[in-house]
Structure 1
Amino acid sequence: MDPATEPPSRSTCTSCTFLDDFSNYWTAVMYFQARNGTFMRAKQLGSLFHEAANGGITIYYFDAPGGYNITAFQKGFRMRNGDPTVRDKESASRFKGITYTCLARPDTRYTNVTSEELWPEDESQPFLWSFGDRTGYGHHGDYIFGWKGGSLQRAFDAKCKPILNCAKLPTQEISVANTCTKNRTVAEEVDGWLDELPGGVEVLG
């Protein structure tokens, strides 16, 4: 992925509400390891109001308090917050901008119920990230800037608070955004019961 090539020039649609946002946002997939050692991808519910998309995340852009002028990311900007190699709380504490929550009840934003006979007999924690982290401390989020032209800067200059209610940005209906998907490019099974994590990733921690 050449940083000189902007995502809008390679895309035919966007799954974002804003038509000018062709950025790439990524977080890891969670797996459940049953007592027999096999793995199953945990079902991911769509982000708020995008439930029909069967997955995804919610991204917020906020203006800075106090009326500061903000400069938008520039062409080619990429960012990773967190470190997939981290396996302890002290090291993970360096990263303040990313977190996740496992919700306990359906009325707190749904949950996934796993059959008790699949739970490890020793009652050990059976969830892990797709990059092999069982501790949860290696969780990370990746970002590739892809706002079209100067659209994000125009929103900042207009002091939209928050940007998700900005008249300066063209939008599309959520139902239309949910139809924008990308075909799988690697012929590998990621669903169903698997003998190993996709890519043959080793479980560490």
Structure 2
Amino acid sequence: MKSVLIGLVATLAAPASGTFVVQCFSRLFDQRADPVISPGTAAGHVHTINGGNGFDFEMTYEDARASQCTTCNIKQDRLSNYWSPKLYFKAENGSFLDVPIIGDNDGGNLGGMAIYYLTRGGPDNDKLRAFPPNFRMVAGDSTKRSETDDFAGRAVTHKCVGGSGGPDPKHLPNEKCDQIRVQVTFPACWDGKNPDSDDHKSHVAYPEEGNYDGGRCPKSHPVHLVTLFYEVYYDTKGFKDMWYGDKQPFVFANGDATGYGYHGDFINGWEEATLQKGLDTCVDGVKDCAEKVFGEFNSQGDTQSCKKQAMIDEPVTGVLEALPGCNPVTYGPEPAASEKNCDAPSLMTVATPKMAGYVDVTSKGYKYIGCGLDNALERTLNDELLTGDDMTVEKCIDFCKGKGTKYAGIVYGSQCFCGGAVAEDRAPGTTSNCLMKCRGDESEVCGGADAISLYEACSGGACTNASKRNSRRLASLEAAKANAAS
């Protein structure tokens, strides 16, 4: 499995070069957040954000290094962050529907992205330099709405999976696709001095000749870095029967209906020596090179349990009347106006528990104790099982109460388990990945992937206190929301 997840791809054309892949199996959240372009405030449009949970609306290299988990599989890279704009479907009535990333399930943000670290030293076979501390950069131009044939223009492409074939266009595909793979290649030539610049681009450059992803660096930017390449698979198959009119119906969160304005952001969190060892070692296509350099990987369950709570009180998924932020849909060829961010709510600065979908069942003699870890091969609770597309928290509680068990838990939206004990390493606090809606009531949450919503039997004062405590938590959450909206 490990070699599949992060194995090196086939050796590339001479000079010898290789690739290791950071596979992000889920994402922290979808949010109007961008600490590079819009530090300290809501960003102009929604991004899908991957990487370490040290991510914040304003952050330093030290903040990134403080990450405790990551949505990606290389443990040594638990500190970097990768993000790009979210894709929406513009319906015929003018509303917008968020397009799921492959792997999403019931709104659980279980889809992510792949980040290829391309070790391409160019025609002179340059020694590649690891990203220095505090390094960050942006690839692409959010305002761009027309095609250009420079290297920056060639670096953004889209692939129509299940389409007619042919070269990957720079624009969003004008045909119906099973998936749209969006991809952006970052510049890999650095001035050797500045870890950032005012526009977050000038300190780096694309090659001056050859290829945009492996040519010769200009003298102004002589230091050759590893080349980052992002790819995200959007699941567009379910929208095939919803097309209308004479234009393709998809639009990125920045209002870009052309695709030319797709872009990516990167904040480095690597320990420099570790990444340098990878770049020096993983250059010849040896299959297990990355495993030997980076050691143990995070499991898919580990990455999917790493989440951030929303810090902006606004919907970014489901059916939306408008794109979040000030983002009219534009079709080009004129560039879009710079984002005014005319609807930027305050950030929620109060730490509040994630209570969306919480159900108070203390009247039934059970209290909610949190989200714990689960595993299909070794269940956290395994005494009894009830499944069904009509599953709700109340239905599971009634079932386990009838069996006389101390604990009740729900996973994957529809599976209820009962049991007499919860192991310490499965207890609440070990994950926050209970994000799936209950099949029988979408206002409730019923676990997640390798995550179980846990309820414990209580009586008398214990139930009363639990009810009061959760009421206070809910009140705190509502107060924080009101504060964010004011």
User: What interval of TM-score do these two structures reach, taking the shorter chain for normalisation?
Assistant: 0.7 to 0.9
Hey, what does 1:112 align to over in structure 2?
237
| Matched letter for residue 114 of structure 1 | F
Return the structure number with greater strand share.
Answer: 2
Match of 1:36 among 93, 109, 121: 93
Query: 34-43 or 103-112: which moved more?
Result: 103-112
Q: Does 2:250 align with 1:194?
A: no
Pair 1:169-2:294 in alignment? yes
Find the aligned partners of 2:146 and 2:267 in 1 and give their Cα distance: 27
Contact 2:88 2:250 in 1 (8 A): yes
| Cα distance in 2 for residues equivalent to 1:58 and 1:179 | 18
Aligned-partner Cα distance in 2 for 1:102–1:92? 22
Name the CA distance, whole Å, in 1 between partners of 2:289 and 2:251.
32
Do structure 1's residue 15 and structure 2's residue 15 form an aligned pair? no
After superposition, the Cα gap between the structure-2 partners of 1:181 and 1:44, relative to the gap in structure 1 and judged at 3 Å, is same
Q: Which residue of 2 aligns with 1:64?
A: 120
**AA in 2 matched with 1:165:** A
- Aligned partner of 1:27: which letter? S
- The 3 A distance-change label for structure 1 pair 40 and 179 is same
- The question of whether the paired residues in 2 share the 8 Å contact of 1:60 and 1:164 is answered with no
Query: In the aligned structure 2, how far is the partner of 1:198 from the partner of 1:164?
Result: 43
* Structure 1 stretch displaced more, 36-45 or 142-151: 142-151
Q: CA offset at residue 90 of structure 1?
A: 2.0
RMSD between aligned residues:
2.9
Q: What is the TM-score normalised by the length of structure 2?
A: 0.37
Q: Closer, same or farther in 2 for the Cα pair 1:33/1:93, shift >3 Å?
A: farther
Q: Which runs of 5+ in 1 are unaligned?
A: none
User: Which structure's relative contact order is higher, taking Cα pairs within 8 Å and 6+ residues apart?
Assistant: 1
The structural deviation recorded for 1:112 is 2.3
Q: Secondary structure, in 3 states, of the residue corresponding to 2:118?
A: coil
State yes or no: 1:133 paired with 2:256: yes
- Look at both structures and tell me which one has the larger radius of gyration over its CA atoms: 2
Give me the identity figure in percent.
Answer: 31
2:282 is the counterpart of 1:156: no
Moved more, 148-157 or 59-68: 59-68
Relative to structure 1, the CA distance from residue 87 to residue 107 in structure 2 (aligned partners, 3 Å threshold; closer, same or farther) is closer
Whole-angstrom CA distance in 1 between matches of 2:146 and 2:330:
12
- What amino acid does structure 1 have at the position aligned with 2:294? L
Superimposed CA distance per residue, residues 126-171 of structure 1 (whole angstroms, 9 cap, x where no aligned partner):
1100001111111111111111352111212334555973312132
> Structure 2 vs 1, CA of residues 161 and 179 (structure 1 numbering), >3 Å: closer, same or farther?
farther
SS at match of 2:89: strand
Question: Quick one: distance in 1 between partners of 2:150 and 2:85?
Answer: 16
SS of the equivalent of 1:138 reads coil
Q: Return the letter of the residue paired with 1:186.
A: I
Q: Secondary structure at the match of 2:275?
A: helix
Give the 3-state SS of the residue equivalent to 1:58 in structure 2: strand
Q: Which moved more, 1:106-115 or 1:69-78?
A: 106-115
Tell me if the contact between 2:88 and 2:98 (Cα under 8 Å) persists in the aligned partners.
yes
Residue of structure 1 equivalent to 2:307: 181
CA–CA distance in structure 1, aligned partners of residues 145 and 274 of structure 2? 39
When normalised by structure 1's length, the TM-score is: 0.82
- In structure 2, the partner of 1:25 is 82
Asked whether 1:95 is paired with 2:219, we answer: no
Cα deviation for residue 16 of structure 1 reads 1.4
Q: 1:87 to 1:27 in 2, by over 3 A?
A: same
